[in-house]
Amino acid sequence: MDREFIARGLQRSSPGRFLLWILPWAALLAFGLYCAGLCLAKGLNQTNMDNRFAFGLWIFLDLTVIALGAGAFLTGFLLYILKLDELRAVINSAVVIGVVCYSGAVSALMVDVGQPLRSWFTFWYPNVHSMLTEVTFCISCYLTVLLIEYLPIVLRNRKLRDVPSFLVFEHKLHNLVYVLAGVGTFLSFFHQGSLGGLYGVLRGRPFAFREGFAVWPSTFFLFILSAAAVGPSFILLTTKLVETLSRKRLVRPTVYSLLARVSGLLLAVYVLAKAVDTLVWINRTSPGHGFLASQYYSWKPFGTWILFAEIVVFGMLPALVMLTPRLRAHNGWLVGAAAMACGGVALNRFVMTVQTLALPTLSFDSFVSYYPSWQEVGTFLAVVAYGVLLYSFSFRYFNLFPEERELRLEAAVHEEESALAGRY
C-alpha cells in the first residue's frame, strides 16, 4: 500500500523505519500542540512575554524562518524568470521548504496574537500605513501561492497521478507556474522588506529606527537582501542534510556551487549595504533622535561584539567563502559558510527583535531580559516538528529531487565501470 505512493525507482526506507523516524517528531508535535493549546485556551499569560517584551521567541523565530524560506521565491525567480535551469534539481524541495516555513510561521503567529478569531480584521479594515498590514497581506497571499506551487508536486505523486483529472491539471498548472513564480517574487519582495520595515519605522525605538526611501526605511531593503542571500544557503543546507540522513545523492555538485555563488554574491551586497546603513545610523539617525549609539552597546550582554558578529563573522566571512571557488568546492567550507550565513540572518532578526525590546527608551527604564517559557518553546518546537514531518512525508512520497533517480543510475554506471576497471 505504502509502496504504491512512492515514486518508481526511488529508494525509501521501509514503512517501519519511516514510522520510527516519524514517531519522535509526531510526539514533539503533539507536545507542541498541547503547549499552543494552553496558550490559546488560557491566554498568553502562559508565555513569559510581558508589556515590555511584547514580542518574544515566536516573533524572532517567525522572522528567521521566513527569511530562511526565502529560498522558495528566489529559486523560483531564478529558474522560471531568469531560466537558470540547473535549479530545477532543487525547486521542488525549495517549494516544500517554503511551504513549511511560511505555514509554520503563520500558525505560530495565530497563537501569538491575543485574539486569533479577529485575525481577518486586518484584511477587512486594513491600515495601509502599517508595515504589519503589508506583511499580513503579502504573507497570506504568498502562502497561497506556495500552496498552489506545492499542488503539482503533490499531484505528481505516483498514485494520485492515476486520476486523469489530477494528471492533466498538474500538467496545465505546471505550465503556468512561471506566473506564480513572478507573483511570488513580487510578494516576497514586499513582505520580506516589510518585516524589516516593521522595525525600521519604530520612531519610538531609536535603536531600530532607520531613515530610508519614500515610505520604506532602510531595513526594508536590508531584510530583502539578507533573506534573498540566505534562502539559497538554507536550501543548500537542507539538501545536504537530507543527503546525509537518507545516505543518497540528490543533486549534482554544480547545483550546490550555483546556490553558493548566488548566496555569496547577495550576502556580499547585503554586508556592504548593512555596513553603510550602520554608519549612517550611528552618525546621523540615532544621534538625531537624542540617542548616542554607543549607549545601545553598553548594556550587558549586548556589546559591539554583536555588531561585529553580525557584519563580519556571520556576513563577510561566509560571503567570501562562498565566493571563493576553491573553498566552495570543499564540502566542509561550503556547509560551514551556508550555516554561518543562516546563523547571521538569525542573529540579525534576534538583534532587531530582542535587543530592540531589551534596551530602555526612557531614562528611568531598566534594561529588561526575557526567557521564553516552556509553553513558548514547546509551541516553537511544534513548528519545527511540523516542518520536519511535512518535509519527511514530502520527501518520501513526492519526487522532491528530480535528479535523484538519474544520479543513482549514474552511480550505478560508475560502480560498474570501477568494477570492470578493477577486474582488468
Residues 107-166 that bind another protein (CB under 8 A): 112-115, 117-134, 136-137, 141, 144-145, 148, 156, 161, 164-165
Separation CA 265–CA 395 (nearest Å): 29
Give yes or no for residue 306 binding another protein (CB under 8 A): no
191: which 3 cell numbers?
Answer: 513582505
Q: Which is nearer to another protein, 198 or 342 (CB)?
A: 198
Give yes or no for residue 326 binding another protein (CB under 8 A): no
What part of residues 328-387 is at the interface with another protein (CB under 8 A)? 356-357, 359-368
State the nearest-atom distance from the C-beta of 337 to another protein, in Å: 31
299: which 3 cell numbers?
Answer: 548594556
| Cell 531593503 -> residue | 221
Residue 302, C-beta contacts closer than 8 angstroms, at least 6 positions apart: 296, 355, 358, 359
State the nearest-atom distance from the C-beta of 336 to another protein, in Å: 32
Q: Which is nearer to another protein, 93 or 263 (CB)?
A: 93
212 φ, ψ (degrees, to nearest 5):
-170, -155
123: which 3 cell numbers?
Answer: 484584511
What part of residues 6-25 is at the interface with another protein (CB under 8 A)? 7-9, 11
Pick the binder of another protein from 83, 420, 421, 422 (CB under 8 A). Answer: 420
- Residues 279-298: x/- map of binding to another protein (CB under 8 A)? ---------xxxxx--x--x
**Separation of CA 210 from chain center:** 24
Pick the binder of another protein from 203, 244, 305, 418 (CB under 8 A). Answer: 203
**Separation of CA 38 from chain center:** 26
Separation CA 105–CA 97 (nearest Å): 12
189: which 3 cell numbers?
Answer: 519582495
State the nearest-atom distance from the C-beta of 292 to another protein, in Å: 7
Give yes or no for residue 392 binding another protein (CB under 8 A): no
Pick the binder of another protein from 54, 81, 245, 276 (CB under 8 A). Answer: 54
64: which 3 cell numbers?
Answer: 528567521
Task: Evaluate whether 96 touches 390 at the Cβ level (below 8 Å).
Answer: yes
Give yes or no for residue 244 binding another protein (CB under 8 A): no
